[in-house]
Amino acid sequence: NAGVMQNPRHLVRRRGQEARLRCSPMKGHSHVYWYRQLPEEGLKFMVYLQKENIIDESGMPKERFSAEFPKEGPSILRIQQVVRGDSAAYFCASSPAFGGRSTEAFFGQGTRLTVV
Amino acid sequence: DAKTTQPTSMDCAEGRAANLPCNHSTISGNEYVYWYRQIHSQGPQYIIHGLKNNETNEMASLIITEDRKSSTLILPHATLRDTAVYYCIVFNNNNDMRFGAGTRLTVKP
């Protein structure tokens, strides 16, 4: 059972371009969480999605950022018109639905976005 | 915002037990206590979780107080490779996971 897969591992974009970050959850997991981490800082929650639904996006910037988790395929975090301040590590985690007993969420290895 | 508070940093001597405390006084009845750690800039690694009973696995032990308002993660024999940031969160698969700043544990030779 493969773990949470994120790609690309490293992404370089020029200011004004779009960045698309992908997260393939573990098999059987229907919940996905995205986090942003700046150097020497903690994990900042961005968005929580279930299949085809955004459950909580209170941590997402109001503009330029969007996320989706389609019925088929990976979850996508999309950043339009990137700026230097978007440079960070972006992590995703996946978990199964609550089935009477809480089950751990697993993290991917992250995507390091550098905006030049 | 995170529902947990942890000390900013701790030191531990190699080979000794590391005891990392966490306060979660507003935990709900159906929320579990989870511990993760992050080594350098790698993805966070799951350690252990529990509801109200103490738990032990090959990595660590988790002691939860009877009122569930606080817990302690115990690494019984810390090694240099256990140097990391340790995060305590409350979670139940039906809500989002919010991380605080964690505790930076430094294991010293």
Distance (Å) of CA B29 to CA B21, B63, B72? 20, 17, 18
Q: Is B3 exposed, middle or buried (0-12, 13-18, 19+ CB in 10 A)?
A: middle
CB pair distance less than 8 Å for A35 and B99: yes
**Residues of chain A contacting B1 with CB distance shorter than 8 Å:** none
Q: What pLDDT sits at residue A101? A: 66
Q: What average pLDDT does the segment A67-80 reach?
A: 95
Within 8 A by CB and 6+ apart from A16, the residues are: A81, A82
Q: In 3D, which of B69, B37, B36, B72 has the Cα closest to residue B55?
A: B72
Amino acid letter, A52: E
Range of lowest pLDDT (A45-59, A73-87, B5-19): A45-59
| Residue A91 and residue A64 in contact, taking contact as beta carbons nearer than 8 Å | no
For A54, name the nearest residue in chain B, comparing CA atoms only. B96
CB pair distance less than 8 Å for B44 and A93: yes
Q: What pLDDT sits at residue B60? A: 97
**Rounded CA gap, A8 and A28, in Å?**
22
What is the interface size between A and B, counted as CB pairs within 8 Å? 67
- pLDDT tens figures, B58-92: 999 999 999 999 999 999 999 999 999 999 998 87
Q: In 3D, which of A68, A94, A66, A91 has the Cα closest to residue B96?
A: A94
A31 and chain B in contact, CB less than 8 A: yes
CB pair distance less than 8 Å for B43 and A31: no
Give yes or no for a cis peptide into A61 (omega within 30° of 0): no
- pLDDT tens figures, A51-68: 889 999 999 999 999 999
* Nearest-by-Cβ selection for B32 from A89, A97, A102: A102
Q: What pLDDT sits at residue B13? A: 97
The DSSP letter of residue B94 is S
For B40, name the nearest residue in chain A, comparing CA atoms only. A40
B41 and chain A in contact, CB less than 8 A: yes
- pLDDT tens figures, B31-59: 899 999 999 889 999 999 999 989 999 99
CB pair distance less than 8 Å for B96 and A95: no
Give the pLDDT band (50/70/90) at residue A99.
low
| Residue B10 and residue B55 in contact, taking contact as beta carbons nearer than 8 Å | no
Q: What pLDDT sits at residue A96? A: 84
Vertex A41 angle, CA B18 and B62, to 5°: 30
Give the pLDDT band (50/70/90) at residue B29.
confident
User: Does residue A1 carry a pLDDT above 70?
Assistant: no
Residue % of chain A over a pLDDT of 90: 78
